[in-house]
Amino acid sequence: MDLRTPIKNARGLGSAKNGVTHWWLQRVTAVALVPLVIWFAFSLASNAGGNHAEVTAWIASPLTAGLFILLIGTVFFHAQLGLQVVIEDYVHGKVAQLACLLAVKFLAFILAVTGILAVLRIALGG
């Protein structure tokens, strides 16, 4: 028997047990992505058509490399938070949901690391 009133379970951390952290991080990354994505789209459009030497020289400049790393980190963090909500909405089996969540989280992490390493290799001339 649960002697606590329903309101007790809803207060504070709520039914998801992590309060507003997930929601808040989705907004923080969204705010950060606005300038990053606008920079990304326009500078990629004006630089991506070059040959290998031109494109790598562009990526290797400290400003571009730094912004790329910030963009990649923020995008995958935001995407993984967003995909989590989508999975929680549509995948109902306990095991299937857990499997999807793990796959998305691992993949997002691996892709982010791969992308950042690629930028560093270009920037550091490795």
Residues that bind ligand HEM (CB under 6 A): 26, 30, 33-34, 37, 75, 78-79, 82-83, 85-86
Whichever of 37 and 44 has its CB closer to ligand HEM, that residue is: 37
Among 82, 85, 53, 70, which Cα is nearest to 119's?
Answer: 70
Q: Shortest distance, CB of residue 18 to another protein, whole angstroms?
A: 18
SS3 (DSSP) at 59? helix
Q: How far apart are CA 88 and CA 75, in angstroms?
A: 20
The secondary structure of residue 20, as a DSSP letter, is: T
Q: Out of 13, 16, 25, 48, which residue is the one contacting another protein (CB under 8 A)?
A: 48
**Which of another protein, ligand HEM, none does residue 32 bind to, with CB < 5 to 8 Å depending on kind?**
none
Of the candidate spans 14-22, 35-43, 91-99, the one that interacts with another protein by CB under 8 A turns out to be 35-43
The answer to whether 81 and 30 have CB atoms below 8 angstroms apart is: no
